[in-house]
């Protein structure tokens, strides 16, 4: 078990060092959330017809945009893994004496850590735009933990789906197919109560919903009553996806 985490950490270090040498990816990834907050947020906020129990719309959607940008980023973990597999770069890890699960965990952890960079940027933008975020160190630490877990969760989902695909060409289509429903069938942009009943049922099974709810409680409302449920839902999804990803990944190259 200890060896597993040690090796996962090496994979994480490898990925982070690569990221530090080429920061363009991180910078480009900040553009999308900025657009969501500045354009979508300010226009949609004018409607004032969304029942948000007294929270300004921009504040309401900030955790949603944070979750979305981590989701979009995490979903590419599997895409880059498939690239590395096809280019033969993955062989170096596969022929080293490390558990397959360590590769999956290391890559997923990378997704989580990159998510933290996104979180930092979105915090900054939201503050500039006048969103009042709860500045309690404990809450902030909890936000970090949730983002990290979320990144791991969806990176694993991505690794699971992408390693099942045989060709890279299908990847981009699948990325859309996964991210859009996850995003729209969640409470990221609007409360679940506004959804038609069938969509509510889907959003209940959508891990994204629990993540957004947890982030919203910790960053904006401070109402922690639903937090245990949210964390349990997220934790469950993470365990399931890590196990699935490891199982699928074990067949790679066989």
Partner 1 sequence: MSKIIEAEDLTKIYAGNLTAVDHVSFSVDEGTLFGFLGPNGAGKTTTIKMLTTLASITSGKASVAYHDCAKEPNEVRKSIGIVPQDLAVDDDLTGIENVMLAAKLYRVPESIARKRAEELINLVDLKDASKRLVATYSGGMRKRLELIVGLIHQPRIFFLDEPTLGLDIQTRAVIWDYIKRLNKEHNLTIFMTTHYLEEADSLCDSVAIIDHGKIRISGSPSELKEKVGGDVLEIDVTNGASLTEFFRSIQGVKEVKQTGSKYRIKIPRAEEALPTIFEGISAKGLKIREVSLNKPTLDEVFLEVTGRSLRDEPSGAEDSFQRMITSRRRL
Residues that bind partner 1 (CB under 8 A): 6-7, 10, 13-14, 17-18, 21-22, 83, 87-89, 91-98, 253-254
Q: How far is the CB of 245 from partner 1 (least distance, A)?
A: 19
Q: How far is the CB of 197 from partner 1 (least distance, A)?
A: 44
Q: Is 14 or 129 the residue whose CB approaches partner 1 more closely?
A: 14
Question: How many C-beta neighbours within 10 Å does residue 158 have?
Answer: 31
Non-local (6+) Cβ contacts of 133 within 8 A are: 59, 62, 123, 126, 127, 219, 220
Q: Is 22 or 193 the residue whose CB approaches partner 1 more closely?
A: 22
Q: Is 43 or 96 the residue whose CB approaches partner 1 more closely?
A: 96
Distance CA 70, CA 230 (A): 17
**Residue 71 structure tokens:** 């989701």
Q: How far is the CB of 93 from partner 1 (least distance, A)?
A: 7
Question: Using alpha carbons only, what angle is made at residue 208 by residues 206 and 213, rounded to the nearest 5 degrees?
Answer: 110
Q: How far is the CB of 13 from partner 1 (least distance, A)?
A: 7
Q: Is 2 or 47 the residue whose CB approaches partner 1 more closely?
A: 2
Nearest CA to 171 out of 249, 107, 83, 68 is that of 83
State in Å, rounded, how far the first CA of the chain is from the last one.
25
Q: How far is the CB of 158 from partner 1 (least distance, A)?
A: 17
Q: How far is the CB of 6 from partner 1 (least distance, A)?
A: 8
Q: Is 91 or 223 the residue whose CB approaches partner 1 more closely?
A: 91
Q: How far is the CB of 195 from partner 1 (least distance, A)?
A: 39
**Residue 55 structure tokens:** 């929270």
Following DSSP, what letter does each residue of 155-190 receive, concatenated?
Answer: HHHHHHHHHH-S-THHHHHHHHHHHHHHHHTTTSSS
**CB 217, CB 227: distance < 8 Å:** yes
Q: Is 51 or 97 the residue whose CB approaches partner 1 more closely?
A: 97
Q: Would you report the helix, strand and coil content of the chain in percent, each value rounded to 5?
A: 80, 0, 20
Q: Is 24 or 53 the residue whose CB approaches partner 1 more closely?
A: 24
């Amino acid at each position: 078990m200890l060896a597993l985490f040690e090796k996962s950490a090496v994979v994480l270090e490898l990925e982070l060092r690569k990221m530090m040498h080429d920061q363009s990816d991180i910078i480009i990834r900040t553009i999308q959330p900025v657009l969501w907050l500045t354009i979508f947020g300010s226009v949609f906020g004018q409607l004032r017809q969304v029942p948000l129990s007294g929270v300004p719309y921009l504040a309401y959607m900030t955790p949603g945009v944070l979750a979305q940008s981590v989701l979009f980023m995490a979903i590419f973990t599997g895409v880059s893994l498939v690239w590395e597999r096809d280019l033969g770069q993955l062989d170096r890890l596969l022929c080293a004496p490390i558990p397959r699960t360590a590769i999956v965990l290391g890559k997923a952890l990378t997704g989580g850590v990159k998510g933290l960079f996104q979180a930092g940027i979105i915090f900054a933008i939201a503050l500039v735009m006048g969103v009042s975020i709860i500045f309690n160190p404990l809450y902030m630490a909890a936000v970090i933990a949730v983002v990290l877990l979320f990144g791991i969760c969806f990176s694993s989902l991505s690794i699971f789906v992408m390693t099942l695909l045989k060709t890279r060409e299908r990847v981009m289509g699948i990325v859309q197919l996964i991210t859009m429903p996850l995003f729209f069938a969640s409470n990221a942009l609007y409360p679940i109560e506004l959804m038609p009943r069938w969509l509510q049922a889907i959003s209940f099974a959508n891990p994204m919903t629990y993540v957004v709810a947890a982030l919203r409680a910790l960053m904006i409302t401070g109402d922690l009553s639903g937090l245990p449920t949210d964390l349990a839902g997220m934790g469950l999804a993470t365990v399931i996806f890590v196990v699935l990803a490891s199982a699928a990944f074990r067949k790679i190259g066989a």
